[in-house]
Structure 1
Amino acid sequence: MPAVNTLMTDALRWLSWVPWWAQSLILIAACCAVVLPLHRFASQVLKRAVANRSLFWRSLVARTHGPTRLALLIVALSTASATAPVSWEVRIAVNQILLVAFVALIGWACAVALHIATVIYLRRFKLDAEDNLLARKHFTQMRLLERAGITLVALVTVSIALMTFEPVRQYGVSLLASAGAAGLILGLAMQPVLSNLVAGIQIAITQPIRIEDAVIVENEWGWVEEINSTYVVVRLWDWRRLILPLTYFIQKPFQNWTRDGASLIGSVFLFVDHTAPIDAMRQKLSEIAAQSPLWDRNVVNLQVSDAKENVIEIRMLVSARNAPQAWDLRCEVREKIITFLQTEHPGALPRHRTEWVQPGAVQPATDRLGRRQAA
């Protein structure tokens, strides 16, 4: 670098007749003219060097092409400002800006590397598989940990950037160490954000919910579509989106239909007459399930679950591979059983019974218990 500065100083002597701002622009243009081809050459060398390496290194070199070029430009501008005919105050301000930009570039590169590692790790799992419990588990963990890691990188980057300014250096230290009055004030101000961040880490570890879990929250049924740093997006059955904070799934009860597996048992309730043929209905249910591609060949059952004054309650159980198929299978069973009763056993449908008495007929006397008395 001293040799470069000497060369640039000698060059400025030949341009002493040019205004100072023009000399500065010429220095910047000259540095960029040298740095950009150098960066292009270095990128080609790096690409050839990592051509036979893992996908991570190849992706990292490709994704950090812009940040590395900006880093070299920052170095070039810093070199130009060291010899440019500007005042000391301007040189200090420019160097400060370039230093902050360099710190931000390092944080950007770390976030890109973290994202690449997450994407490469999740490539081995498929969410569209029929039994995607393991995939949903890893997707949930990695997405939450990635967001927590990016938040931590941003926090450290901002802290280091603040520490480069002498008047606010203590704030950067407080932010980085989470200590002192400034750290306490910031902690109180960011309490909702920090609580959701901690809840996200807890969800990633314990996993009460995962991506594409079927859940019932706030009396609404849907699927977990996104798990972000501070909130969860639930895609409802009618395509609406329900937005809930992460702390909701830590502090409040909810139903998770796919917690341990995607398979579900669906129930169908039907009210029929007391004379309904239970055995025939049970046999018909088995036929419907066997002919349906939605049934997973595990559970099929029919029972009389209740008996009321005018009807009896029939509960039919059928299992499916996931929640959407369980819903469709329940609807199919309900429709076909009703059609079966209408065509084969119409008398089994619910009926209201009344006793017709001929006008003028004398009713037999009854005692207080309702028993007929002898004449």
Structure 2
Amino acid sequence: MESVLRLAVCVGGSALVALAVVRTADLLARYADARHPETPLWGLLRRCRTPLYVVLLAALLRWTYPASNWAPLEDHDRTVGHVLLLCLIGGGGWLTVRAASAGAETLYARYAGRSRDAARLRRVRTQVTLIMRVVSVAVGVLATAAALVTLPSMRTVGTSLLASAGIIGIVAGVAAQSTLSNLFAGFQIAFGDMVRIGDTVVVNGEWGLVEEVTLTFLTVRTWDERRVTLPVSYFTSRPFENWSRGGAEMTGSVFVHCDHSTPVALMRSHVEKFLTTCPTWDGRGWDLAVTDTSPTGITIRAIVTAKDADDLWTTRCAVREELVGWLVREHPGALPRVVTAPAADPPDDRAEEHARTPSMTREPHAR
């Protein structure tokens, strides 16, 4: 009975001590966050509470449980110790990833507060995201390797694997060729400034915003809220349009088909007046000109500018709607026409000549 009480004291005391330490650290982080609101580090470090508690509890239990002298626990001393060691390794890896993520996000927040270049911010954000993924994978691999080393049976397996590392490397390289190509393509995208999170791209005839970039795939959110997932090797092996590279400003065209009697000068003046009231026009430039003509009408092209692809689409739609409405209200005769009337009859003299023509070309009858 005394050993059971000792075990309860060890477990309960370890849990209380770990909880007290975590609670104290959380209060200190909250106090520092309130004193220094300019940096999000202390607020982000509060997310490390759970892994810190796991690490402290596993370490305290591994140190205190032998003092309980409980017979069933002593019979499985090696198993219990090994389980606590695995918990300590896993919690340590979890804590490392959380702390590294807090540090990376803090550095990005400070950089974003100083920089006003949106393109550079998207580039840094993409790089930080991919670096954190690499760190998470590396920490996970190291934690798994450390856990396997603690198993006696895995040491022999590890030795045999190291002995045949050359053959395994060749086989793995051939089998994972596409995966490795995507991995290196991910690094090329992150540090080659080809495409960044938040860029407006056109792939496979679909345009949208780059929403997520990983080491193996990239997600594009289209204008109708669909998600197009593509391997990152697609962007290193095929051409694509990046409307945000070199600046997000764009120029677009609006085509209107009209009759030959359209007052182009009045239409040009109306477009200029309308653009001054259009909130999505950035004021960089505009133009209106007749770009084509045909026997049935003319084609008028209006050019407008906007600060990004979304505003350009809105501006084009607004200009197109305004031009059509203006023609309907002010100049309905300038709307395109479809000729459906029958052809007029020829004059009388031409009709007689037309009637005599077949008899002159008719072959004589055989007698």
Which amino acid in the other structure matches residue 15 of structure 2?
L
Moved more, 31-40 or 201-210: 31-40
Relative distance call for 1:336 and 1:268 in structure 2 (3 A) is: same
- Cα distance in 2, alignment partners of residues 135 and 236 from structure 1: 21
CA RMSD of aligned residues (A): 3.7
Could you tell me how far 1:175 is from its partner in structure 2? 9.2
Alignment of 1:208-287 (within 5 A): 208-287=194-273
For the Cα contact (< 8 Å) 1:298–1:319, is it kept in 2? yes
The residue number in structure 2 matching 1:37 is 16
For the Cα contact (< 8 Å) 1:268–1:315, is it kept in 2? yes
Which amino acid in the other structure matches residue 350 of structure 2?
Q
Q: Secondary structure at the match of 1:225?
A: strand
Q: CA-to-partner distance for each residue in 1:59-90, whole Å, 9 max, x for gaps? A: 46533322232223222332325855459883
For the Cα contact (< 8 Å) 1:213–1:257, is it kept in 2? yes
Relative distance call for 1:339 and 1:67 in structure 2 (3 A) is: closer
- Cα distance in 1, alignment partners of residues 224 and 328 from structure 2: 31
For the Cα contact (< 8 Å) 2:254–2:301, is it kept in 1? yes
Moved more, 130-139 or 334-343: 130-139
For the Cα contact (< 8 Å) 2:304–2:316, is it kept in 1? yes
Q: Taking structure 2 as the reference length, what is the TM-score of the superposition?
A: 0.79
Moved more, 160-169 or 74-83: 74-83
Q: CA-to-partner distance for each residue in 1:101-139, whole Å, 9 max, x for gaps? A: 222111111110122123323435779xx9843432332
Which amino acid in the other structure matches residue 32 of structure 1?
V
- Cα distance in 1, alignment partners of residues 138 and 48 from structure 2: 20
Q: CA-to-partner distance for each residue in 1:195-226, whole Å, 9 max, x for gaps? A: 33332222111232222222221212222222
In the alignment, structure 1 residue 73 sits paired with structure 2 residue 63: no
- Cα distance in 1, alignment partners of residues 177 and 160 from structure 2: 16
Moved more, 270-279 or 213-222: 270-279
Relative distance call for 1:344 and 1:163 in structure 2 (3 A) is: same
Moved more, 205-214 or 328-337: 205-214
Q: Secondary structure at the match of 2:285?
A: strand
Relative distance call for 1:63 and 1:189 in structure 2 (3 A) is: farther
For the Cα contact (< 8 Å) 2:41–2:103, is it kept in 1? no
In the alignment, structure 1 residue 362 sits paired with structure 2 residue 349: yes
The residue number in structure 1 matching 2:130 is 144
Could you tell me how far 1:26 is from its partner in structure 2? 4.7
Relative distance call for 1:94 and 1:298 in structure 2 (3 A) is: same
Q: Taking structure 1 as the reference length, what is the TM-score of the superposition?
A: 0.77
Q: CA-to-partner distance for each residue in 1:19-58, whole Å, 9 max, x for gaps? A: xxxx4x6554222222233234434554576655875663
Could you tell me how far 1:269 is from its partner in structure 2? 1.3
- Cα distance in 2, alignment partners of residues 315 and 133 from structure 1: 31
Which structure has the highest helix share of the two?
2
The residue number in structure 2 matching 1:370 is none
- Cα distance in 2, alignment partners of residues 189 and 78 from structure 1: 42
For the Cα contact (< 8 Å) 2:7–2:70, is it kept in 1? no
The residue number in structure 2 matching 1:299 is 285
Which amino acid in the other structure matches residue 79 of structure 2?
A
The residue number in structure 2 matching 1:314 is 300
Which amino acid in the other structure matches residue 349 of structure 2?
V
User: What's the % identity of the aligned pairs?
Assistant: 33
Q: CA-to-partner distance for each residue in 1:153-179, whole Å, 9 max, x for gaps? A: 212222222222233237668999x95
Q: Secondary structure at the match of 2:260?
A: coil
Q: How many residues align?
A: 344
